[in-house]
Amino acid sequence: MKDFVFNIKQRIESEIKNIQNSETHSASQIKQIISFIEERINELKIFIRNYSFKNEQEEILFFKELKPSVCCLLLYYIRVYHIEERRLSKTDFAQSIYLSKELKQLEKNNEQIGNFYQYYKSWNTNFDYLYFCRESYNILLDTSCNSFEKERFFSTNHDYDVANIMANDLLKNYLIAEADKLNSQLYYQAIDVMYNHKMQWTDSKTSLVELIYALYSSGCINNGNISLKEMAQFTEAMFQIEIGDPYRTFLEIRGRKKSRTAFLDEMKNKLIETMDKLDNF
């Protein structure tokens, strides 16, 4: 029985490499992989339908380890397909945010499994008979939404949950790797803008300090969880300018006799002027 499952896994892994080495589009590759895995799972179903487990331990091994190790690949590639589909029209920055949200969603997915997640991750075996033997199947304990459609010869209370956990682990690694690649791209894009295109601040340093303090006071960056020093350092790097001591400059701004927000007032007036022109265009 183990040899049969291992053979199926080897065939899947080999076919995945062949498909990924082809010149077809990524989405087409994933579809081919999903189709191939589905066919192998059907082979596994036929085998189990006609197979008699030698003992309880062998049945638990199949439903706790062997079957999930194959089915998790199907879940994983289906989820990758949907993630890639949703990324298509997004900018690199929007993709980075999207992948971060997907990572957080994975944590919620594991939480939804409840106590079983802790049971499985702690390598506990006390309730394996209840969780991974078909004789113990109870639809009220089945957490998967399609339990009423399950083929009982091929299902237990929690084998799907194990496959789901395995798929989530694979997906977590995938999302982290993709996010790292995107973040590297964004970093080098920012460096290119700063140093090659030379995005320079051309107004006074005092005006820039006024803007920095306005952003800092409003808490509109990181929900206010950023220090004034960090904001100043980022601004210096972005605009290739040395601000000096922003606090000393801020004291001068506070001591103005006329408008203490001269630069911000000017910005507001120019924005209104631009909108008025567009309205009359």
For the chain, which residues make up each domain, given as ranges? 2-194, 200-279
pLDDT for the residue 87 = 85
Residue 157: C-alpha distances to residues 45, 138, 150, 271 (Å): 17, 7, 11, 62
Count of residues in the chain: 281
H/E element, 38: helix 26-49
Question: For residues 65, 66, 70 and 72, what is the CA-based torsion angle, rounded to 10 degrees?
Answer: -10
Q: Tokens for 151?
A: 């083929």
| Sequence letter at residue 106 | L
Give per-residue pLDDT as tens, 108-145.
Answer: 887 777 789 999 999 999 999 999 999 988 777 766 65
pLDDT for the residue 191 = 61
- Supply the pTM of this predicted model: 0.71
Half-sphere exposure of 61 (CA within 13 A, CB side): 11
Confidence of residue 197 (pLDDT cuts 50, 70, 90): low
Q: Tokens for 192?
A: 């290119």
Give per-residue pLDDT as tens, 5-57.
Answer: 999 999 999 999 999 887 667 888 999 999 999 999 999 999 999 999 999 99
